[in-house]
Structure 1
Amino acid sequence: MSDSRFPIAFLFGAVALAAGVAVLYVNRSTPEAPPAPPAQVESKPEPETEPKSEPIPATQKESMVDSPKDPEAALANAGVGVAEVNPADLLSKIGTALEAGDFDTLGKLIGRDALDDATRKRLAQMATGEQIKLRKPDTVQEVGELELNNRARWALWLDGAETGRDRIFFDLKQSAGKWSVQSLTLPPAPGDPIPKAVLVDSLGIADAFLQATLRQEFEMAKEFAETSTVSDAKIAGLCILFEEGNYRLRPEKPLRAMFQRPDTAGYLARVVNADGSDAAEFSMVLRQPGNGGHWRVSDVNLDQLLADYARRVAGGDVYYSPLVKNPKGGDTLVLYFGFDEDVLAPRTERQMEIVAQILKTDRDKQLTISGHTDALGTEQYNEQLSARRAGIVKDFLVKTGVREDQIITLARGQSQPRRPNFTESGGDNPEGRRANRRTEIYLDFD
């Protein structure tokens, strides 16, 4: 019996020992709670005291004030340039920046490719001089097309500047329907000679020729013409047409490119009336000599302009033209008279003032004035009347300062009609007779 109880007792002892070990293990693995932190006493922060400011030296004060940037340096940091759908908007923004002296914006609008060293330097010189002022209104001008619908020339008019220094030119290029500045040309600096034309490509010469005729500057206009093909009378006639017809160049696309070849270029000049409505257009052809000489206006076709002038100024009489073909070649200026009259109308006097300007610029020039009549009246009377008509024109020119020995007068009477005095059936032809009552002025001086 004692032997059988021993295993049972041994088993109970082992279980009790294992339970004791487990209790000890659990007690060792439980961490003790950390001691409570000591109570912190809240302390009031001491008030901060502002540091005493030291006096700023005068030189340091000046350096802290923003000073204007150097224009040349600002332009040197120009970006790629701005592109606008409407080139007039781009030019207006450039003009605003130019007047304000904002060369940072100016450089961003124009772009670095159009601002070479010489241009940046010249712009900086303009900025350091008197404040740049632009003409108002009509600050922005479209000069014309360099390449049809692809390249064009625009300008900003400077206020109060003399002719030749009064415009800044911008050549624009179009890409993806937007225009940006390709190059610009600044006017000559003060003291530098003024060239006859700032830009001497075909468009520059065409524009210079038209600007001279608009200002009634015959001699200057003649400098840009090929005198062997464009007569003095045609240049003077264009001056008269612009003056009497009160024409001016069309604001939009005044010179449209018709064709461009290495030595020949064609433009369509477009003019408007005083009220701004479209009036007429006329073609101009320019040529450049093979030796690389200057471009010259070699042909001007005024047919459409003369037709508009006749319609608006001459009451629709297409034969009442201030410029006619000379049977001997070239063109002739014509002044018209009323029936049996030998007095100058106010309109005729304005024409003569232009002719007088031409003669007074060169005292060696001479012109020939021939008087004419219609066929009504006797030949003797008409010869005397034609002499009086030629004489009254001469007298007016002499009163304006032209020397008498510069003028030759001829009396042609009824011997050289321009239009028939009578119809084929023998009836009277009033329109023809009206065109025959005239004085012709030969201006081909060469």
Structure 2
Amino acid sequence: MAAAVFQKKLSWTLRALMASLLLPHLFRSSMLTHSQLRRCSAAGLLPVILVLAALAAGAAVFFIFTKPRMDDEAAASGVAPVLAEPKIPAAAPSAGEKTAPAAPPPPVVTPPPAPAGFGFARPADLGKEMARSLAAADFDRAAQLAAASDPAQAAQVAAVLKKMVLDMKVKAGSEDQVEILGLVENRTRVSVPLLIPGREDSARLQLDLERDARMGWKVVAMHLPKELAAAVSAPDSAAPAPAAPGQPPAAEMRRPSLVMVDESMDPLSFASDFVRALLRHDFARARIFVDEAKVPAERLIGLCIVFEEGKYELKPAKPLIITVANPEVSWVIAQVQSTGLQQSTEFGLELQRAGVDKPWRVVGMNLSEILGSYASSAAKMGVPYTPIVSNPRGGESLALYFEYDEAALHPRAQKQLEIVAGLLKSDPNRKLKITGHADAKGAEDYNVRLSRSRAESVKSQLAALGVSAAQIVTTGLGTTQPLSPNQKSDGSDDPEGRSRNRRAEIYLDF
């Protein structure tokens, strides 16, 4: 502190010394001789000279004393000195001139708050809230959810739900059974299970959802099964009131109802039931959905096996996507994932029906994507290849693979053979052909015997599952029909190719 005071005093002393040396010089330089003064006075320049001398002296005093002091004070306060610009007063309006009123400030636009109780971040959360509301008979809350996109219809929706639950004795299933069916027309469809008296399986209350920037997910349509058509009140038969002048007719002003009744199963629900049966490895249930003249049983069995071995499940966000939706033809993409294989893949379904009043059927399955993904990743589980292979006679066969120089069945073949046995036992007239195969290692006659032993192993397992031996034909083809080359292009051994050739194929001759 003392050092700072000393520096300040020293600064002022030096400034005073400079002033004492500089000011006399300025005054001397500005003084004129007597003769010069008389000439300036005669010329009228004396006042000008005096003013200039005063200005020079004032400037010297400002820069030597005043400005350094201002700088010191500004530095002490931390604020730089600012010279304010002089304000120019506005010119007064002339007489008779009207002044324009000041423009009002622009209004502050604030978005309306989101309705209370909304803000669902996930579609399934909205579906679960609907299930809870119906289970608690909270029809106002359920109607608020269903009519979020058109609150004017909330009363109508509440009346439908109340009649459905109280009069028709319909119960909502557990919220754990709420599921996302998929995507149709850029809307996410959520299924809420319903228990209808007299119906063995559960029905669906389907909600079509869209994402709202303020409200999160909201319902834009609600679908009821045809068994609940009575819950929807009949339209008012009274003639509509005449429209006001300049207004469109009342029929044009009426908004479409949020509540719809599905007279038949829609393609998204149909595809969902079919795929979920496959994921449960329920081959008998899955067969109900297909046109067996167009979708061979080998495809269903092979897909069940892929799902079981790969532990596939539907992707939770968008399990199914409708890509083509016509009254009698639909295309569906099923998206699945496997945690064990660390992959996501898909397969396609082609659906058809003979008329709008006829049931849907699966008439085509594009499995190239999922089978390719499975084949490339199955080595992580020790499963070498896809269970579906092309048959030389046309169509496809089921393939069972064997270890090197072995005829014993792998444990994973058990599920495949259980499905095949169920098919054969359901119709004693059905037959199948089993062909055994071997790789190129060893003598040809030995490989023929080994391939026959592999075919017989499959037959023995089917017999143990209750299939009549008369329904099975076996043969051994040795190395004559390899699936892959036994050698690489340079002539060296190809162990991977040989492993595909150690197999038995089942051809279902139905």
- Is it true that 1:399 corresponds to 2:464 in the alignment? yes
Aligned to 1:421: 486
Aligned to 1:283: 348
Contact 2:349 2:364 in 1 (8 A): yes
State the shift of 1:103 in Å: 3.1
Contact 2:378 2:385 in 1 (8 A): no
Aligned equivalent of 1:165, options 180, 190, 201: 201
State the shift of 1:291 in Å: 7.9
CA separation of 1:132 and 1:359: change in aligned 2, threshold 3 A: same
Deviations 1:48-95 (A, max 9, x none): xxxxxxxxxxxxxxxxxxxxxxxxxxxxxxxxx989664323212111
SS at match of 1:314: helix
Aligned to 1:141: 179
In terms of fraction of residues, the more helix-rich structure is: 2
State the shift of 1:416 in Å: 1.2
CA separation of 1:392 and 1:120: change in aligned 2, threshold 3 A: farther
Q: One-letter code of the match for 1:171?
A: L
Contact 1:258 1:265 in 2 (8 A): yes
Distance, in Å, in 1 between the alignment partners of 2:368 and 2:475 is 28
Aligned to 1:220: 285
Contact 2:142 2:158 in 1 (8 A): no
Distance, in Å, in 2 between the alignment partners of 1:162 and 1:362 is 32
Aligned to 2:58: none
Aligned equivalent of 1:185, options 224, 236, 259: 224
Distance, in Å, in 2 between the alignment partners of 1:374 and 1:425 is 18
Map residues 55-70 of structure 1 onto 2, 5 A cutoff. none
CA separation of 1:169 and 1:396: change in aligned 2, threshold 3 A: farther
Aligned to 2:501: 436
SS at match of 1:153: strand
Map residues 33-48 of structure 1 onto 2, 5 A cutoff. none
SS at match of 2:449: helix
Give the TM-score, by structure 2 length: 0.61
Contact 1:155 1:170 in 2 (8 A): yes
Aligned equivalent of 1:89, options 121, 125, 149: 125
- Is it true that 1:153 corresponds to 2:189 in the alignment? yes
SS at match of 1:156: strand
Distance, in Å, in 2 between the alignment partners of 1:252 and 1:165 is 25
CA separation of 1:199 and 1:176: change in aligned 2, threshold 3 A: same
State which drifts further: 430-439 or 214-223. Answer: 214-223
Map residues 264-343 of structure 1 onto 2, 5 A cutoff. 264-274=329-339, 278-289=343-354, 293-315=358-380, 320-343=385-408
CA separation of 1:274 and 1:336: change in aligned 2, threshold 3 A: same
State the shift of 1:221 in Å: 1.6
Larger relative contact order, structure 1 or 2 (CA cutoff 8 Å, min sep 6): 1
Distance, in Å, in 2 between the alignment partners of 1:355 and 1:299 is 21
Aligned to 1:349: 414
Deviations 1:284-315 (A, max 9, x none): 22233368643222222222222332233334
CA separation of 1:119 and 1:294: change in aligned 2, threshold 3 A: farther
Distance, in Å, in 2 between the alignment partners of 1:296 and 1:82 is 39
Give the TM-score, by structure 1 length: 0.68
Unaligned segments of structure 2, at least 5 residues? 1-116, 148-152, 229-261
Q: One-letter code of the match for 1:399?
A: A
CA separation of 1:106 and 1:292: change in aligned 2, threshold 3 A: closer
Contact 2:182 2:190 in 1 (8 A): yes
Distance, in Å, in 2 between the alignment partners of 1:118 and 1:213 is 35
Distance, in Å, in 2 between the alignment partners of 1:188 and 1:353 is 37
SS at match of 2:379: coil
State which drifts further: 164-173 or 395-404. Answer: 164-173
CA separation of 1:162 and 1:303: change in aligned 2, threshold 3 A: farther
SS at match of 1:390: helix
Unaligned segments of structure 1, at least 5 residues? 1-80, 190-196
Contact 1:86 1:179 in 2 (8 A): no
State the shift of 1:338 in Å: 0.8
Distance, in Å, in 2 between the alignment partners of 1:164 and 1:308 is 38
Contact 1:152 1:173 in 2 (8 A): yes
SS at match of 1:393: helix
CA separation of 1:233 and 1:117: change in aligned 2, threshold 3 A: farther
Distance, in Å, in 2 between the alignment partners of 1:341 and 1:398 is 20
CA separation of 1:277 and 1:252: change in aligned 2, threshold 3 A: farther
Q: How many residues align?
A: 351
- Is it true that 1:238 corresponds to 2:309 in the alignment? no
SS at match of 2:434: strand
Distance, in Å, in 2 between the alignment partners of 1:262 and 1:154 is 21
Aligned to 1:205: 270
Aligned to 1:57: none
Contact 1:231 1:444 in 2 (8 A): no
Contact 2:123 2:209 in 1 (8 A): no
- Is it true that 1:123 corresponds to 2:188 in the alignment? no
Distance, in Å, in 2 between the alignment partners of 1:163 and 1:424 is 63
CA separation of 1:325 and 1:119: change in aligned 2, threshold 3 A: farther
Distance, in Å, in 2 between the alignment partners of 1:198 and 1:387 is 55
Deviations 1:130-165 (A, max 9, x none): x755164xx321111221x2x332113579x99962
Distance, in Å, in 2 between the alignment partners of 1:187 and 1:372 is 54
State the shift of 1:385 in Å: 1.1
Distance, in Å, in 1 between the alignment partners of 2:424 and 2:267 is 29
Contact 1:218 1:358 in 2 (8 A): no
Distance, in Å, in 2 between the alignment partners of 1:297 and 1:346 is 31
Distance, in Å, in 2 between the alignment partners of 1:250 and 1:381 is 48
Distance, in Å, in 2 between the alignment partners of 1:338 and 1:317 is 11
CA separation of 1:389 and 1:275: change in aligned 2, threshold 3 A: closer
Distance, in Å, in 1 between the alignment partners of 2:414 and 2:466 is 14
Distance, in Å, in 1 between the alignment partners of 2:199 and 2:146 is 25
Measured on the aligned residues, the alpha-carbon RMSD in Å equals 3.6
Q: One-letter code of the match for 2:221?
A: Q
State the shift of 1:330 in Å: 1.9
Aligned to 1:367: 432
Aligned to 2:101: none
